[in-house]
Amino acid sequence: MKTSWSCLAGLSLLVGTCFLHAAPKEYPEAKPEVRTKAATAILQKEKEIALLYVKGLCCPSCAIGVRSKLSRLKYVDKKRFKRGVDMNAETQLVTLALKTGQVIDPLRVEKEVDDAGYIAIEWYTFEDANLKAHPFPGQKP
């Protein structure tokens, strides 16, 4: 009886884990078209910002390190948003408030996001009424 309980529990954990890890890896809220629409809306509304797509950022508490690391960058305006960083776990978009006339250093931003446990995929600008995506250096083929 004791052994069967333990074996059953262990087997259930193993099978369940494999099943769940193999589950669909796309979620409606994270589809590229949803993110593109959200990114366009943010860039039209906010000025002096950098908008990043951080892959996997879907848990606000786990991602506190993203805010902690990025808010220390010298060109981030900590008076805006929450210490200069707004994170959206639904779209995985991170908005950095920039000081006037400043731009991001993509290499540094990518490293800070990596140290925080996530992957910086690209950042966006709005040019000629179109959203333009710029891959971070580590994402370029």
E-strand ranges in 62-116 read 85-88, 93-97
Which residues, including other chains, have CB under 8 Å from residue 119's CB and lie 6 or more apart? Answer: 54, 55, 56, 113
**Should residue 133 be labelled a site residue for other proteins when binding is judged by CB under 8 A?**
no
**Should residue 36 be labelled a site residue for other proteins when binding is judged by CB under 8 A?**
no
E-strand ranges in the chain read 49-55, 85-88, 93-97, 119-127, 130-135
What is the sign, positive or negative, of the torsion defined by CA atoms of 98, 99, 103, 105?
negative
Spell out, one character per residue from 88 to 117, where the chain touches other proteins: x when CB under 8 A holds, - when not.
-xx-x----------------------xxx
Cβ closest to other proteins, residue 29 vs residue 46:
29
Cα separation, 37 vs 114, in Å, equals 25
Cβ closest to other proteins, residue 26 vs residue 127:
26
Stretches 43-51, 81-89, 94-102, 128-136: which one binds other proteins (CB under 8 A)? 81-89
Is 86 in contact with 95 (CB distance < 8 Å)?
yes
CB of 25 to other proteins, least distance (A): 5
Stretches 3-11, 40-48, 95-103, 124-132: which one binds other proteins (CB under 8 A)? 3-11
Two structure tokens written together for 73: 């960058």
What does the binding site for other proteins look like in residue numbers (CB under 8 A)?
A: 2, 5-6, 9-10, 13, 16-17, 20-21, 25-27, 29-30, 55-69, 82-83, 89-90, 92, 115-119
